[in-house]
A and B are shown apart, each in its own frame.
Chain A
Amino acid sequence: DAGVTQSPTHLIKTRGQQVTLRCSPKSGHDTVSWYQQALGQGPQFIFQYYEEEERQRGNFPDRFSGHQFPNYSSELNVNALLLGDSALYLCASSGGKLTDTQYFGPGTRLTVL
């Protein structure tokens, strides 16, 4: 049974560019959450998708947007990249209940130059 998978593993972009990160949830999970983890910090919640809708959003600007597909996989898009967007982006999947355990993928390391 595959766990949560994310692609790509690493990504290098320049300021002002746009990036798309992808996540496939664990089998049987229908909820996907995205987190940003800056170096030396704990993960910060970006948003959560359930039934193809954004269910909750953290304190991130509109440059951060997402999508969930009918097969429950998800994308995170970041526009107009800033140097401060450099971080490890983690995807987590869970069942539909809000208290279900979130299982994390290995992350995508984004570097903005």
Chain B
Amino acid sequence: AQSVTQPDIHITVSEGASLELRCNYSYGATPYLFWYVQSPGQGLQLLLKYFSGDTLVQGIKGFEAEFKRSQSSFNLRKPSVHWSDAAEYFCGAGFQGGKLIFGQGTELSVKP
């Protein structure tokens, strides 16, 4: 079955520290992959998306993600976290037919 897993429900990092949010997917073929961010009471904003080509994808707000086929992973990284990055982050995968499947989300808290 198609699924996306985000193993970390909640992560706390200090401002200025580096960040890595984990994401794994399960599917027979490589879907297209993405990360969205959701601030409280808001909709989802796309951070970045991978469809094919270079496995290191650059996104907005200084985020990047690396697709690793052998590990079925698409982890999100940022070298230096800002207080404004505190939000809920969703990894997801798009499969045939246009349906998007999301992980459960990782809530990021930033300590001053």
Binding site for B on A (CB under 8 A): 4, 31, 33, 35, 40-45, 48, 50, 55-56, 58, 90, 92, 94, 98-99, 101-107
Contacts and interface: CB of A to CB of B under 8 A. Distances in A.
Nearest to A90: B43
A105 B98 contact: no
Contact of A55 (B90, B98, B104): B98
A55 to B, nearest CB: 7
Interface in B63-110: 90, 92, 94, 96-105
Contacts of B96: 98
| Chain B residues touching A, majority SS | strand
Interface of B: 4, 32, 34, 36, 41-46, 49, 51, 90, 92, 94, 96-105
Given A4-B43, A103-B46, A104-B43, A43 B98 contact: no
A47 to B, nearest CB: 9
A50 B98 CA distance: 10
A7 B67 CA distance: 37
